[in-house]
Amino acid sequence: MTPVERVTSGWRSAPIAIFGLALLILLAGVGVIIQNEWTYDHARVEQTQALSDILAATTAAAVDFDDPAAAQQAVDGFRMNKQVRRIAVYRRDGRVMAGYKRDGTPLRPTLATMRPPGANVIRVKSPIVQAGQRIGTVTLDIDREAPFRRLSRYFVLAGLFVLAALVVASIGLAQAQLRRANRELGSRAEALAQANVLLEEQMEERAKAEDQLRQSQKMQALGQLTGGIAHDFNNQLTVIQGSADILTRPELPDEKRIRFAQAIVQSATNAASLTSQLLAFARRQPLKPERIDLNDLIREMRDLLDRTMGERIRIVTDLYKLPCRVEADRAQLQSAILNIASNARDAMKDGGTLTIRTRDAGEGQDGKPLVALAIEDTGEGMSPEVLDRIFEPFFTTKRTGKGTGLGLSQVYGFATQSGGEVEVDSKPGEGSTITLVLPCIDADALAEAEAPEPEASDQPPARILVVEDNEDVGAFAETLLSELGHQVTRASSGEEALDIARRTEFDVVLSDVVMPGMGGLKLAEVLGREQPELPVVLATGYSQEIVESGSGGRPVILKPYRLATLSEALAGAMRR
């Protein structure tokens, strides 16, 4: 096909809509020019009227005092404007007072004899007003528009015609090519759509498979966790059950009776430690804070860390002379350090160096000092994708059976509950540094904490109100306190305890936290308002309220508690 044939074919195939579009463009161009012409004329009239009004205001005094020279001086100020064709100032009787014409011809002597303006002239009039009375008139003639401006608009119109013709020609020629291309693209798009549907089905199946795999891994990890805890609990229960059976035997020597009783106490302590680890993992553990020197703790754990890391990993300590101590749960802090060290050991498969540093971390947002414990390894490091998920429960990069994905989650739970945070710095091939940042306690709090307290046995008998909804636990607490010589009154609910406390005087209240109806925190709050001098000690095995809101400064003892723990807590509350 020749070029001419291609052009004519393109024109024939061009739809009527294209020609309609070109026509609309032309009409729009004409409309724009007409609108522009009207707008320009309107603006020129307003501008001319403004000039006339200014001259009327300027010459008002001259007309009022019949001073033609002053009026002419005001008029001469407009001679610089080359578009002004004629200006005249008339008195009240219509006689000319001042003015000029651009062509130099004289002005008409009166307003009535003034000739009408030409087609290309804009004429406006403005009254001269003085003290609210019209004393004269200003007339101003100005050229409507320079000829070259009109020509420029006509050139724009011609350009629009040419542009529209070029647009129609281009669209007409391209239309045929687009149709052929569209047919080819249609066939390819159909094939691509089919492939896309197949890909989406495969992606959906893969996503389901990945979800199922993640769920199975979580269930497997949870099964390992619960199985291990069940195993450890059964070991402790075996000791407790066996020792209890032996203690029931008649004529058992006192030496064996004491030994088996101690075995029960030790096993119960171990079982309580297991539940405390579970609550720490769930970030719901009511921690038992102590004043701890981090440097001393690291030195105490050195042998344990050496055994944990093995012979291929060298441990280096860089302990800064810390200006303060931290207030944290010693067991949970040790567990966090071991968890981080264990992960570092697994990252250094061929051996390496584990560096433990302590340093001053400046001040927190509340202005309190902070201390940092950094554990650095020379292992393989972590990718950004792994870094984003390391604190997720059950997330692990280890193969099945080698890790539960709970270690760093426990570390994060401990740090946040202790008022601190965890920082991680790691790059692939450059090792990892995990830093625990914890708040310090000030010197006054430290001195108060280290001040010796009198023994619980030295405390005189007291009147104690025990609030416990569990009958067995309440009876147990009553027995313990009675053994210490205290006078005990029991209540099974917060409402009952409040009613008793309003009628009877007590030295201290021991209340469970979680109870039906009014809980221990609410009871302590009401008693604090009604009897602020009455101390309240809270007892709990787990309480979401205490974890989230705190105890309001009241002492808290954790279940299961022993006789010495209970006695010290009550004695301390009564000494405050």
Q: How far apart are CA 461 and CA 574, in angstroms?
A: 11
Select from 419, 398, 395, 417 the least CA-distant residue to 408.
Answer: 395
**Least reliable range by pLDDT among 40-54, 82-96, 142-156:** 142-156
What percentage of the chain carries pLDDT values higher than 90? 16
Whichever domain contains 521, its CATH number is 3.40.50.2300
3-state secondary structure 204-262: HHHHHHHHHHHHHHHHHHHHHHHHHHHHHHHHHHHHHHHHHHHHCCCCCCHHHHHHHHH
Confidence at residue 252, expressed as pLDDT on a 0 to 100 scale: 82
According to the 3-state scheme, what is the secondary structure of 227-240? HHHHHHHHHHHHHH
Q: Which residue has the higher pLDDT, 286 or 210?
A: 210
The domain total for the chain is: 3
Give strand pairing partners of 432.
Answer: 377, 426
The better pLDDT of the pair 229, 117 is held by 117
Q: 411 and 465 in one domain?
A: no
CA separation for the pair 443, 325 (Å, rounded): 9
What pLDDT digit, counting tens, does each position of 147-198 carry?
666 677 667 766 776 677 677 667 766 776 787 888 888 888 888 989 998 9
What mean pLDDT is predicted for residues 134-139?
92
- Is the pLDDT score of 18 beyond 50? yes
Reading the block at residue 417, the tokens are: 């509950």
Cα–Cα distance list, 530 to 133, 512, 524, 533 (Å): 87, 19, 10, 9
If asked whether residues 97 and 140 sit together in one domain, one would say yes
Instruction: Give the rounded distance of the alpha carbon of 574 from its chain centre.
Output: 44
pLDDT at res. 453: 43
Q: Are residues 398 and 464 in the same domain?
A: no
Alpha carbon separation from 328 to 339, 346, 420, 428, 538 (Å, rounded)? 17, 27, 10, 32, 19
Among 123, 145, 167, give the residue marking a domain's end.
Answer: 145
This model's pTM is above 0.85: no
Strand ranges (E), 364-415: 369-377
Q: Is 317 among the domain residues? A: yes
pLDDT of amino acid 447:
44
Question: Could you tell me what percent of the chain has a pLDDT over 70?
Answer: 78
Structure tokens at 297: 């703790």
* Domain around 95: 16-145
- Do 511 and 543 have their domain in common? yes
CATH number at residue 391: 3.30.565.10
Q: Is the dihedral of CA 510, 512, 515, 518 positive or negative?
A: positive
Q: Which of 145, 180, 203 is the last residue of a domain?
A: 145
The single-letter code of the amino acid at 202 is Q
Q: Which of 432, 448, 464 is the last residue of a domain?
A: 448
